[in-house]
Amino acid sequence: NWNPNWAGLKTAAANGHEIGSHTVTHPALDSISDADQIKEYGESKYEIETKITGQKCVTIAYPFCTCGNSKLVSDYYIAARSCDGFMEPSSPKNFMNIGSIGCGMKGVAKTAAELNAKAEQAVNTKGWCVFMIHSIDNDTTGYSSLRSQELGVHLEYMAANAAKFWVNTFGNVV
């Protein structure tokens, strides 16, 4: 219900970015009924797949990091991201609750050095590092803004070490 920038999202999708769900009305999923969860999952997936052609909406990031009914989520998506801050093992046990690392001013990774350290930790543990970035450079529509300069330095580090890291969309990794 936030009237997303569909033109921008189409451009992002055309450039290889995954467009995933975050529900329609952004509820705390653990506080609404199963029927309301079904509506949130189904309508969001439908809206994205109607507006962004050429790719399917296969993943969801939980609003407020609260998981709903895992069985219902799995009827719509192949995986779901929460925000517990943990690195996932190489074979996650629950694809409907994949942990992510919060980035930005309110997250645990605020700087390029901290982002790089998390990526290195994933390599060392042979795990997954899923970064949660809500906004860039004080975008007022997001939560926990990450400075573009820090993200840029991190992306340069990842590119310089491309043989060491596997970087892909959440849906492709799953």
pLDDT in tens, the chain (174 residues): 778 889 999 999 999 999 999 999 999 999 999 999 999 999 999 999 999 998 999 999 999 989 989 999 999 999 999 988 888 999 999 999 999 999 988 888 999 999 999 999 999 999 999 998 888 887 666 677 899 999 999 999 999 999 999 999 999 999
How much is the pLDDT for 151?
95
Name the packing angle between helices 34-51 and 6-14 (round to 10°).
Answer: 70
Residue of 163, 162, 98 lying closest to 128 (CA atoms): 98
How much is the pLDDT for 141?
65
Measured in Å, how far apart are the chain's first and last C-alpha atoms?
28
Residue of 40, 27, 31 lying closest to 72 (CA atoms): 40
How much is the pLDDT for 101?
92
Residue with tokens 């199963």: 34
Q: What is the distance between the alpha carbons of residues 59 and 77, in angstroms, rounded to a whole number?
A: 5
CB atoms under 10 Å from CB of 107, counted, come to 22
How much is the pLDDT for 29?
96
How much is the pLDDT for 83?
87
How much is the pLDDT for 63?
93
Name 92's bridge partners: none
How much is the pLDDT for 84?
83
Per DSSP, the three-state class of 103 is strand
